[in-house]
Amino acid sequence: MNIALINELALLFQKLGIDTSEVLVAGSKWNFLPFRPALVGGHCIGVDPYYLTHKAQEIGSHPEMILAGRRTNDQMGQYVATQVAKLMMQRQIAVSGSKRLFSALL
């Protein structure tokens, strides 16, 4: 849920023209948790929430927060790909046929 929240804030900040990293630097409180926007994967974050929500729904519960977090995190791959393609086009790097994406952007 923490990553989903930060991902959702990053999407919102991008639309508002706010640099997410600048906002996160402001986290100087003693209880600040340094989460960063990210693609999520692996088993525990990517798959286990679906098992949990399936079981919850079997017993008549609807885990809205878990499902909302998954929806947010699931859209981040498309968002990142779109942003990278835009950056490549701005720098006049051919998107089609590109193989070494990140080295071309650095």
Q: Euclidean distance between the first and final Cα of the chain, in Å? A: 31
Question: Which residue stretches of the chain are H helix?
Answer: 2-16, 20-25, 42-46, 48-58, 64-74, 76-90, 101-105
* 42 vs 57: CA distance, rounded Å: 23
* 95 vs 80: CA distance, rounded Å: 14
**Angle CA(6)–CA(8)–CA(11) in degrees, nearest 5?**
110
- Written as six digits, the tokens of 55 are 């079981």
Active-site entry in 26, 44, 59, 106? 44
From first to last of its 106 residues, what are the pLDDT tens digits of the chain? Answer: 888 888 999 999 999 999 988 888 766 777 777 788 888 766 566 667 788 889 999 999 999 998 898 889 888 888 888 888 888 889 888 888 777 655 555 5
* 103 vs 27: CA distance, rounded Å: 30
Global confidence as pTM: 0.69
Neighbour-count burial of 80, counting CB atoms closer than 10 A to its CB (0-12 exposed, 13-18 middle, 19+ buried): middle
Q: Is 59 a catalytic residue?
A: no
